[in-house]
Amino acid sequence: MQQLSITALNTLPYARQPVEIVERKGLGHPDTICDALAEELSRSLCQFYLEHFGLVLHYNVDKALLWGGASQPAFGGGKILALMEIFLAGRATCEYKGIRVPVEELIHESASNWLESNFHALVPENHIKLHSLIRPGSADLVELYLRQKETGTALANDTSCGVGYAPLSELEAVVLQIEKKLNSNEIKSLHPEIGEDIKVMGSRRGNLFELTIACAFIDRNISDLQDYFNKKSQLASLVEQEAKLATNKQLMVTVNTADDIAAESIYLTVTGTSAESGDDGEVGRGNRVNGLITPYRPMNMEAAAGKNPVTHVGKLYNIVAQQIADSLVRDIDEIEEACCYLLSQIGSPINEPRVVDLRLQLHADADIEAQRSGITDIVQDRLANISRIQQMLIDRKIRVY
């Protein structure tokens, strides 16, 4: 690790600033679907490589496009006119030591399993067409992978940066919890009319929380226009009840604000996602690795989903930077807020970043120099254990969307 840079900030802590905006694209959003399917393919490739070769071989499958279909929703049940099409693209080792890697089969199996597990009205074989656009990787990056087997050290396959911050603000926590609740099995069982394509946009002005929910309702569970508006009102109440469990701030909740009663234009779908009727999706356009889109916080443009978890710092450094920030706030009482920035250099060991820059908000009267040793220990521990992230991703203990 190069020299650790630590800066004490003297600005107003984030949670006490006057305005905040936070967004989460839910599991059924076209962008999140792309992230999820790329990440599921990444997991499947890791598992196959480890089971058959004892190490993860070169791959990056972080390019995915969802081409929206066409539908004709109707009260009581509509129909799909054109399938959604999903293109999974990237690079992977397709053969090693004479053993073929069944990439196309892994794509269809991993995608179908995820879609079946996370949607209750969408049927993959009836509503989605999958395309495999995976080709072998470049010779130099493949060689970089094989070098790790000889040295036992994973080498960064890119010059890239990662960033993480902690803790979540109250609004950030509420936005995450609302989407998680609405897409829970419990809610889907009680309210099957609620689709998975749920976007939560939260704002805070002073002590007022405004939550704007976009939710795709499922047509076969809605009998008529009045039933739609009744169930939309129930959804708003659900959101308010859930939010009040996490905050005592003043709340304003609105749902599907583009609805036009006079024109009978409402957010109705056959499958529970806007992807069925022309809304497209792409990896990297949605949530960051902490599950949120936070324009007032540090972020970068890396698409973590689908990148390999061994050498791709575009994935690893965003995760470990988040872990460092979380640990600093949790383990050192004097730190109120933490931001961590990491920079890699291609070909260098992944646990030896070129830059480690910490921006810390301390509690009043805290001395940053008195905490330097503890801070350094946390950073070094997290970097030394970066290889554990691989198995945590395979086990779904870390989500990157």
**Helix H segments across 217-288?**
225-244
Identify whether the C-beta of residue 1 lies closer than 8 Å to the C-beta of residue 383.
yes
How many degrees, rounded to 5, is the angle at CA 35 between CA 358 and CA 79? 150
pLDDT at 1 (0 to 100)? 57
pLDDT bucket at 2, cuts 50 / 70 / 90: low
Q: List pLDDT tens digits, range 202-253.
A: 999 999 999 999 999 999 999 999 999 999 999 999 999 999 999 999 999 9
Determine the Cα–Cα distance for residues 236 and 252; give it in Å rounded to an integer.
10
Q: Is the peptide bond before 167 cis (omega within 30 degrees of 0)?
A: yes
Amino acid at 106: L
Domains of the chain, by residue range, sit at: 4-21+159-168+286-394, 30-151
Determine the Cα–Cα distance for residues 157 and 344; give it in Å rounded to an integer.
9
pLDDT bucket at 43, cuts 50 / 70 / 90: very high
pLDDT at 142 (0 to 100)? 66
Instruction: List, in order, residues 6 or more apart from 388 with CB less than 8 Å away.
Output: none
Q: List pLDDT tens digits, range 301-347.
A: 999 999 999 999 999 999 999 999 999 999 999 999 999 999 999 98
pLDDT bucket at 264, cuts 50 / 70 / 90: confident
pLDDT bucket at 262, cuts 50 / 70 / 90: confident
The lowest-confidence range among 77-81, 139-143, 196-200, 249-253 is 139-143
Q: How far is CA 353 from the centre of its chain?
A: 24
Q: List pLDDT tens digits, range 156-192.
A: 989 999 999 999 999 999 999 999 999 999 999 999 9
Which homologous superfamily is 4-21+159-168+286-394 in? S-adenosylmethionine synthetase, C-terminal domain (3.30.300.280)
Same fold, 4-21+159-168+286-394 and 30-151: yes
Mean pLDDT of the 21-31 span: 98
pLDDT at 153 (0 to 100)? 80
Class for the domain spanning 30-151? alpha beta
Q: What is the pTM of this model?
A: 0.95
Identify whether the C-beta of residue 278 lies closer than 8 Å to the C-beta of residue 69.
yes
